Amino acid sequence: MTTPWFEDHNESYQDEAFDAFSSNVLYRCIDAELTWDTQVDLTACYDTLNEFEDTVSALCTEFKEPHERLDKLLDTFYQQWLFSASSLKVPEYTLNSFSYTITMRSGTQTTLAILLCHLLQHAEFDATVTLSQGEVHIHVAISEEEGYLIEPSTGQQSWYITPENACEENGDEQEPLELIFEEELYKLYLAQQKWSFISESKFGHALHCVDMLMELLGDDPYERRDRGYLLNQLDCPKMARDDLQYFINECPDDPAIEIIQHQIAEIEDNNNTHH
């Protein structure tokens, strides 16, 4: 096996959900699981999610004041429903699947963030998944000057208020949050699931993720590189070589070029040996 270069509810119910929520990133992530696991039954996942949404709608009716409504929703999510990061030895690709996250109340930072952000939006909050110091968080804007950052694994929240003259007083601007919107969030989810499959040598599953990413990104050279690696692991050397060569042609200055060239040479040597 070649060493990789990276370190770094039934059917009608699903069709209905897809038609109604195809633009919603959470539903797209849930449906994506059917691509790499055609046998998965998402009925319980969708039913539980609908129950969560109904509970959130009831909270909106009961708690009109936004700070109080936010506190109550977070208490429900973490204290009543008991969502958290997993302390069990569960493969990351399982934790990164929403059928597991929603039914077992446990997931990765990313799946917990996407789910909680969806429920916050359902509660009429201006909520967005964000990267803060390299970690996935949720940003909830209460107004232009105030809001919350929520850590998705624990629900810990940091409240902030920005005075109008904050920039003048501090002499510089605070580093802006990197907000991740629907399409980019879906790509992030697929990319993380791809790497979690690769780390467990589930190359066929990872290849499905690459194919889905390429539908969104087109002939992205890095996805072609990853597809080449996966195809080589799945004994498709000719197609693997074409993808790896494409990456070399498109990204000649990439630090991984020598390793990719070595992989191509190995593929050609093996092909010559077999013939």
Say what the pLDDT of residue 239 is: 94
Which one of 16-25, 178-187, 203-212 scores highest in mean pLDDT? 203-212
Does 13 have pLDDT greater than 50? Answer: no
Q: Of the candidates 120, 115, 76, which has an alpha carbon nearest to the alpha carbon of residue 95?
A: 115
Return the higher-pLDDT residue of 190 and 21: 190
Residues 15 and 249: their CA atoms lie apart, in Å, by 41
What is the pLDDT confidence band of residue 195, given thresholds at 50, 70 and 90?
very high
Share of the chain above pLDDT 90, in %: 75
**Looking at residue 76, what DSSP letter applies?**
I
> What residue type is assigned to position 222 of the chain?
Y
pLDDT in tens, 35-90: 999 999 999 999 999 999 999 999 999 999 999 999 999 999 999 999 999 878 89
Helices (H), 76-138: 92-95, 98-104, 109-122
Q: Is 244 exposed, middle or buried (0-12, 13-18, 19+ CB in 10 A)?
A: buried
Does 7 have pLDDT greater than 50? Answer: no
Query: Which domains does the chain show, CATH number per domain?
Result: 11-180 (3.10.620), 185-191+201-270 (1.25.40.10)
Does 156 have pLDDT greater than 60? Answer: yes
Does 148 have pLDDT greater than 60? Answer: yes
Does 124 have pLDDT greater than 90? Answer: yes
Say what the pLDDT of residue 47 is: 97
**Predicted TM-score of the model (pTM):** 0.85
Does 22 have pLDDT greater than 80? Answer: no
Q: What mean pLDDT comes out for the span 207-225?
A: 96
pLDDT in tens, 25-35: 999 999 999 99
pLDDT in tens, 222-268: 999 999 999 999 999 999 999 999 999 999 999 999 999 999 999 98
Q: What mean pLDDT comes out for the span 149-161?
A: 92
Residues 109 and 271: their CA atoms lie apart, in Å, by 42
Say what the pLDDT of residue 19 is: 43
Does 175 have pLDDT greater than 80? Answer: no
Q: Residues 140, 127: contact at Cβ < 8 Å?
A: yes
Say what the pLDDT of residue 174 is: 55
What is the pLDDT confidence band of residue 273, given thresholds at 50, 70 and 90?
low
